[in-house]
Amino acid sequence: MFAYILRATDSPPNEQTDEFFRRFCETPGLVHAYQLGGIDDPNEGIVVALWEDREAAERYLDSAPLRQEVDNAIPTVTRTMYEVRSHK
């Protein structure tokens, strides 16, 4: 299993970000996705994405039009990759 965490600042939740997340959840190879909103800072958002494997995540990151749409709409977005070593 493979994961990445997407972080965005200065991006309050809105219909566009909800639509991005809905479409993201339909991505092949995505096992689970969690959309988190900041309690202390409501303009901060995080998405935790768990993938079948690294190749599935890279296919999305390399070729999905949605990734470009998110990057263009939310310029503060960053993604950090992780290998899932254990899970429940």
- What are the structural domains, with CATH classification, of the chain? 2-83 (3.30.70.100)
Q: Which amino acid is at 66?
A: L
Task: List C-alpha distances in Å: 32 to 38, 50, 69.
Answer: 20, 5, 21
Q: Given this model, what pLDDT does residue 13 score?
A: 77
pTM, to two decimals = 0.86
- The answer to whether 31 and 51 are in contact (CB under 8 A) is yes
- The answer to whether 11 and 43 are in contact (CB under 8 A) is yes
* Greatest pairwise CA separation for the chain in angstroms: 35
Asked if residue 5 has pLDDT above 90, the reply is yes
Question: Percentage of residues in the chain with pLDDT exceeding 70?
Answer: 100
Q: Hey, what are 6's tokens?
A: 């997407």
- The number of residues in the chain equals 88
Asked if residue 11 has pLDDT above 80, the reply is no
